[in-house]
Structure 1
């Protein structure tokens, strides 16, 4: 048994929604029935006041606080799934997540996730919130994640994340040949009609993404991006907002973009690339127990490297661009 303390700031779009609905959206690691019970048991505060009515109507600008005892990660089965470990000590694990691996069980994904793998390889993680998972990557985004091996490390890493002290950098391939880098500083909130999608919304939460050009191609650009905030789908939403959505993005993308006269190899690569071209390449943080600054790099996965080669060869094949 452990005590979990979490908070979330609501947005104006939550106005008129019930408290239990808002909790389910903000704290989606927990089931709706568990969240409802916590409301009834007095474990939820709205702007500092305990509210025990699940149907309580929200104004959309409140701060929710949840403090409750959580049992071990029962209900989730340990599974013998390989984990690519970049670094490990007594307190943290740095994981290089492959494409297709869901991080945490949710609707439609009760098994086959990173959490299931952690419970198998590290049985003691059952007493740590979310089996030690501190932050997430989308199913089809690859790269570095930190996992805590004990409650003390988890608490400290969550504090770092909230204070924006954890450094996260990504590489991506976007549609369109960009002239230079820049910053997207636009708030992000839930999409008004697509409940699985996010969007730039003035009523959303602040979100800042910095990007710079690594290499330009005829109709595509290889980027390095750095997050100041960690909103859901942030890079994908921001790049789509500036009309440079990521190659292969099935949710936010602008579809297949073939340069005029593209080589056959590039055409094949672009047509077969069915996931967002995004990789968490660098992760830096203060060690939760020693306080030492540490950082790690993860090389690009093979599919991204192959796509870059095809883009480079296509560019070189067209003298008018070179």
Structure 2
């Protein structure tokens, strides 16, 4: 019988702290000039004025609310972003396998693996850390270090392998890296490298419609598009994208549901 764990997400996260150190070239700048010039993409001048007035910025550990405060070289600046409500995301994780070193999870679609963009707390990493802190059952010689060792896209479901110690993380990361340095047009060399890997990834997808051929080569260009909640956007099929080549095999045809399950052979 499978086990699940997870704590419901609080309404608001804990906010974020962004650290800066004033360089020699930026000394003698005022606090508002520093933030409005160095971090103008985060907020306009008026926005930074509001943040300073609200006491969201500290200089060397002291809250500073005077925008014209002169900065000194080496001073440590911290901007404290206020807590916010992150978009909805699943929180329950199914355990597929676990021992003293690793844990394999069934990651649901809609849950981000690591912090990024609007999702800073609602991630697999957070749930792993909360679980490790609650259990704290590792031997004294092993330091708790529960972290994912690879990524799956937020919208992708599947097996996510996580390390429970620093040693396990180092070794698993090396296993995933085996063979990944082979790039270019030499397909035979690439396929050989894949078979030599200690860990391999298998991607499957549910396709709308029924595919007649048992194997299909896809030459659809892949490009970046803007997507809500993803700061850098998503890579999707796009006529303006870069050339791409992949091959899939048909695993199952669901005529009644008008779906086909495919598995990527290479890409």
- Band the TM-score falls in, shorter-chain normalisation: 0.3 to 0.5
TM-score of the aligned structures, taking structure 1 as reference length: 0.38
TM-score (norm 2): 0.45
Structure showing greater Rg: 2
